[in-house]
Structure 1
Amino acid sequence: MSVYSIKDLEHLSGIKAHTIRIWEQRYDLFSPQRTATNIRFYNDDDLKLILNIASLKNHGIKISKIVAMPEDVLADEVRKIEFEDLSHEDQISALTLAMIDLDEKSFASLLELSIEKMGFEKTMVEIIYPFMRKIGILWLTNAINPAQEHFISQLVRQKLIVATDHTQTNENGPLFLLFLPEGELHELGLLYANFLLRSRGARTVFFGQTVPLEALEEVYHKLNPDYLMTSITTSPESKDVQQYIKRLGTRFKNSIVYITGSRVVGQDIEIPTNVSVLNQFEDLNQITRDIAINKSQG
């Protein structure tokens, strides 16, 4: 079972830690355990309860009424609103509950409903990306079981691959090579970039995880791409990132190289002239919009 701090509960539910402490004392909501240094920690059941409370409270139900509900009634009330026109915050909470329970059916249903109402791109940007960012932070701090994170990542990965397969290839579009550095496994962002680029009229070759530069260089000279795109989140090591980026600029000097990831964004790194950093989703959207404009003008 995963272990959460009160800040983790705040982070996932949107309810301030101060408020959670007040409710804990006033309504005897939780019975948190304590570490050897007397710090409270909470379990999956506590997180599920605070998420359910947050969902009902967001729908105008008073906290005094919520805490008086038996557990089965509370669960029924949450299910009644689960497939309504939920706010983004409520959808993210519902996805989190599905993650905790490893409930693939519920997770998939929530995603399908959001895609039906908002479209695939808006669901990715406004629901999935904020959700994965929250989960990613908890995973990095060991607050959640890595198996839960991998469970969700694989479900999102499947959706991205299916959506990409349904895009039409534009044989005259600019060519992008998408890859992750050797040892880098976090590919969801790159998969989404692949989907966006193809849907906007670019040609893409997706190499995926842990690609040695020597192997990439060999196919580079065969394909002569216009662009390369990669993300650096965990590999290479921080001390080696500067040298890696320099090698990208030198080895692929006839192309524009787009890079992103936590080891690049906001870091004090010297960037070669043919390399550009994508600091946020909007940068990627701008690239794909430019491709779409050029395609229509061509």
Structure 2
Amino acid sequence: MNSYSIKDLEQLSGIKAHTLRIWEQRYNIIAPKRTDTNIRTYDDQDLKLVLNISLLKDNGYKISEIAKFSIEDMSREVLKISARPLNYSDQIQALTLCMIDLDEEGFEKIITANIQQFGFENMVVNIIYPFMSRIGLLWVTGSIGSAQEHFITNLIRQKLVAAINEQSNKSSSAGKTFLLFLPEGEFHEISLLFANYLIRVRSNKVIYLGQNLPFDDLLFIYKTKQPDYIFTAFTSVPANHQVQPFVNRMGKCFPKSQLLLTGYQVIGQDIVLPDNAVIINQITDLTRIISR
């Protein structure tokens, strides 16, 4: 069973630590354990309780009312809310709960309902992407473990691959050619997969080289295929001091392609771009280019 600090609960639920302390003292709604030095600690059941309270509170329930619920009452009210269309923030909370609980069935229900309600593209842009940003924050702060992060990321990856496969035979001979890759040592593939889907659904052609690609292999494919665009994401590699030389090398080696760059290592950084490169700050930047 996992152990969480009050700061972890704040990160996971969006409820401020001082609010959690007030709820504990005023309503006795949550009862943390204490270390020998009197520091609050919480387990998985406490976390699920706080996430459910957050969902109820966001849907109009008063905390004084929630405090009177038994665990069974609370579960029943949460199920009522889950049965109706939820707003984006509530969906993200529900996915967070699935991640903590390793609940694949719950994940499937949430994703299927959202695809039906919003469509696949809007679901990814408005729910999956903000959710992935939350996962990144939780991972960096140590609020979730690698098993939980791998579990939910692989489920999301499966959905993207299935959606891409549905589009695989729909590319147009009149469309542009996009080469997609991740640099050697880079394995964060979600943004690359979603770009693959977006490009295909707009009747363009994709050469998908995936993650961890050596630069010499990229250069060989470029000379063979001469793509109109090259798209890549810098999430964790190259290291900060190596990003600018890597971008410079791309500009020099691929002069006939438009370079589309995204990821934490380039967005908001002082990167000097070659004339044939642009930074993709948001999904709308990419969709505008691929829809021309």
Fold shared per TM-score above 0.5: yes
**Residues 11-61 of structure 1: CA distance to partner in whole angstroms, max 9, x if unpaired?**
332333332221122122334356787654433222211110111122222
State the shift of 1:257 in Å: 0.8
CA contact (8 A) 1:3 1:143 kept: no
**Residues 54-102 of structure 1: CA distance to partner in whole angstroms, max 9, x if unpaired?**
1112222221221222212212221222121111111111111111111
The match for 1:284 among 282, 286, 291 is 286
Equivalent-residue separation in structure 2 for 1:102 and 1:271 (angstroms)? 42
Equivalent-residue separation in structure 1 for 2:28 and 2:56 (angstroms)? 18
What SS class does the counterpart of residue 195 from structure 2 fall into? helix
1:209 is matched with: 211
1:117 is matched with: 117
CA contact (8 A) 1:176 1:227 kept: yes
| Structure 2 counterparts to residues 80-99 of structure 1, below 5 A | 80-99=80-99
The match for 1:198 among 197, 200, 212 is 200
1:21 is matched with: 21
Deviates more, 1:198-207 or 1:58-67: 58-67
| Structure 2 counterparts to residues 165-176 of structure 1, below 5 A | 165-167=165-167, 168-176=170-178
1:187 is matched with: 189
1:151 is matched with: 151
Distance 1:239-1:33 versus aligned 2 partners, 3 A rule: farther
CA contact (8 A) 2:11 2:138 kept: no
What SS class does the counterpart of residue 166 from structure 1 fall into? helix
Letter paired with 2:255: K
Equivalent-residue separation in structure 1 for 2:102 and 2:155 (angstroms)? 11
Task: Note the residue ranges of structure 2 that are not aligned, 5 or more in a row.
Answer: none
**Residues 210-250 of structure 1: CA distance to partner in whole angstroms, max 9, x if unpaired?**
00010111111111100100000111111211111111111
State the shift of 1:2 in Å: 3.9
Deviates more, 1:67-76 or 1:208-217: 67-76
CA contact (8 A) 1:257 1:275 kept: yes
Deviates more, 1:68-77 or 1:201-210: 68-77
Distance 1:213-1:58 versus aligned 2 partners, 3 A rule: same
Distance 1:75-1:238 versus aligned 2 partners, 3 A rule: same
Distance 1:221-1:35 versus aligned 2 partners, 3 A rule: farther
Equivalent-residue separation in structure 1 for 2:275 and 2:198 (angstroms)? 25
2:43 is matched with: 43
Distance 1:35-1:238 versus aligned 2 partners, 3 A rule: farther
What SS class does the counterpart of residue 249 from structure 2 fall into? helix
Distance 1:276-1:88 versus aligned 2 partners, 3 A rule: same
Task: Note the residue ranges of structure 1 that are not aligned, 5 or more in a row.
Answer: 291-298
TM-score of the aligned structures, taking structure 2 as reference length: 0.93
Letter paired with 1:103: D
Equivalent-residue separation in structure 2 for 1:249 and 1:289 (angstroms)? 23
